[in-house]
A and B are shown apart, each in its own frame.
Chain A
Amino acid sequence: MDRSNAMSTVLHAPISPADVAPFKAGEVVFISGVLYTARDKAHDRMLADPHRPFSLQDACIYHSGPLIVKEGDTYRVISAGPTTSARMNTQTPAIVKQGVTAIIGKGGMSLNVARSFAGRCFYLAFTGGCGILAQEKIVEVVAVYYADLGVTEAVWKLKVLNFGPLLVAIDSRGDSIYETVRVRSRERLLHLIAGRKRTL
């Protein structure tokens, strides 16, 4: 971990639980190293596969369905922003149990997921829709697994350099910016609709 400058902490993935634990919701980090993309189908496959061809120990999962084209023998990443993380709410506690220490995505995850982090995993928000900002930080497509799921749903092993900025949106203690916003906006919603006449 390189914390020479508080504004630009760079974590090297795979990341140990000890490196994840000190971060608090609201802090900003960058990641260099290896990410594995995974969406709905890949999560099911990773959990069901007794011969998983890669390790989830200390792994960083990136919720993304990258736009990648094959050019000759190499892959070219065209655009690779995050996908909506909430779709993976149900499978995520099981993935965390397998040793995953960082999850990158957008839109946030459930309270149940936040509780499953148990001091050894955190959730990092990358700005949604920013496919080119993300693509510029991907230096290599290392491998593709479960290619039969299709380009979008397959697991891509990517090497990244200073990937970010990533906002610690749910920290390892389960403190979640989304939950704070959800509770506050619910109060405002109830206030806005209270006292409205049933008919126009």
Chain B
Amino acid sequence: MPSNREAFIRHAAQALQEAEIHLPRDVTRALANAARTESDERAKEQIHAILENVRLAGAADLPMCQDTGVPIFFVEIGREANIDFGLKEALATAVQRATDAVPLRKHAVDPLTRTSCDEPLFDMICDVSDGNRLSVAVLVKGAGSENVSALAMLEPLQDVTPFVLKTIWKSGGKPCPPIIVGLGIGSTFDGCARLAKKTLVRSLEEEESPFEAEILGQINELGIGPMGLGGDTTALRVFVEEAPCHTAMLPVAVAVQCWADRKARFSIKL
């Protein structure tokens, strides 16, 4: 039987390319809605510029933002899937291939010496599920929004909302609002961050919970607006994911995504 490696690499490279060039429809629709409902003229113009940029990127087959970010691959491995290759190595090859094909910006550096390095930059988070498929969601994360994301180990009985609102207020225009906000509440130090980040591949059109709607309303009441220039539209959507935690802990992570909520999926039978 031939190896599945090549098919996997091809799909992963294609998904990354798709994410970098074409903004998903749920995000474009949310932006178009915001352009209609926004009451601030300056804010409206910022959103119109964004929508025009999205259109031009798609038409020219080029990455919508020069910060082509860090791809994060959420991989679900079916228990019965026949994987005869190294996942990490295959994803590195896929990222390299997309880097040449799209092309993507080569901005990986050594964290302390800050000198360029050639390794493809990406992250991989794996889960095991039922079945024989390998399902992958890729999220492209730029530095502007990643830099304002935050994590707090709150006191167990503390209210989470002030931490969330302060985090968004402090970030102002830096993460390229209108943003998408993923909250991970519970689990552990690293667990809440993973919960928060994984929400960002969800569709903005999924039904929102009352808690998600409440936080979204409060974030938008801040009036930071598109690009931090004021307006009604600071965030397009808030996602909340919870998990049980130790009785002596309350971990909370706020994962912020820019308007360029670049995401794509694929699933192959192995």
A residues sitting closer than 8 Å to B (CB atoms) are: 26, 41, 64-67, 69, 78-81, 83-84, 86, 106-108, 125, 127-136, 150-152, 165, 167, 169, 177-178, 180-182, 184-186, 188-189, 192-193, 196-200
Contact = CB atoms under 8 A, between A and B. Distances in A.
B62 interface: yes
Contact of A107 (B103, B109, B142, B227): B227
Given A65-B107, A127-B53, A189-B169, A132 B176 contact: no
User: Ordered nearest first, which 8 A-B pairs have the shortest CB separation?
Assistant: A128-B176, A130-B53, A79-B66, A107-B173, A127-B49, A131-B66, A199-B157, A193-B162
A178 B114 contact: no
Chain B CB within 10 Å, residue with most, of A64, A165, A178: A178
A132 B172 contact: no
B64 A131 contact: yes
Contacts of A165: 45, 49
Interface string B227-270: 11110000000000000000000000000001110000000000
Interface in B154-205: 157-159, 161-162, 165-166, 169, 172-176
Nearest to A40: B114
A192 B223 CA distance: 12
Interface string B104-117: 11110100001010
A193 B162 CA distance: 6
A181 B172 CA distance: 9
A125 B227 contact: yes
B159 A133 contact: no
Interface string B33-71: 000000000100110011011001100101111111000
B66 A69 contact: no
Contacts of A188: 221-223
A181 B143 CA distance: 23
A167 B107 contact: no
Chain B CB within 10 Å, residue with most, of A86, A128, A151, A185: A128
B103 A185 contact: no
Nearest to B114: A41
B159 A200 contact: yes
A84 B147 contact: yes
Contact of A189 (B67, B103, B165): B165
What does DSSP make chain A's interface, helix, strand, loop or mixed?
A: mixed
B226 to A, nearest CB: 8
Nearest to A180: B230
A65 B158 CA distance: 41
Chain B CB within 10 Å, residue with most, of A186, A188, A196: A188
A169 B67 CA distance: 23
A130 B67 CA distance: 10
Interface in B75-117: 103-107, 109, 114, 116
Contacts of A189: 165-166, 169, 222
Contact of B159 (A79, A81, A199): A199
A198 to B, nearest CB: 6
Chain B CB within 10 Å, residue with most, of A127, A135, A136: A127
Contacts of A78: 62-63, 66, 103
A79 B62 contact: yes
B4 interface: no
A186 B53 contact: no
B50 A130 contact: yes
A133 B169 contact: no
Contacts of B62: 78-79, 131-132, 135
A153 to B, nearest CB: 8
Contact of A81 (B65, B173, B222): B65
Contacts of A69: 103
A125 B177 CA distance: 13
12 contacts: A41-B114, A64-B66, A79-B57, A79-B68, A106-B227, A125-B229, A127-B227, A129-B259, A130-B64, A135-B62, A150-B116, A151-B105
B258 A177 contact: no
Contacts of B56: 132-133, 136
B168 to A, nearest CB: 9
A108 B173 contact: yes
A130 B228 CA distance: 15
B224 interface: yes
Nearest to A133: B53
A5 B165 CA distance: 42
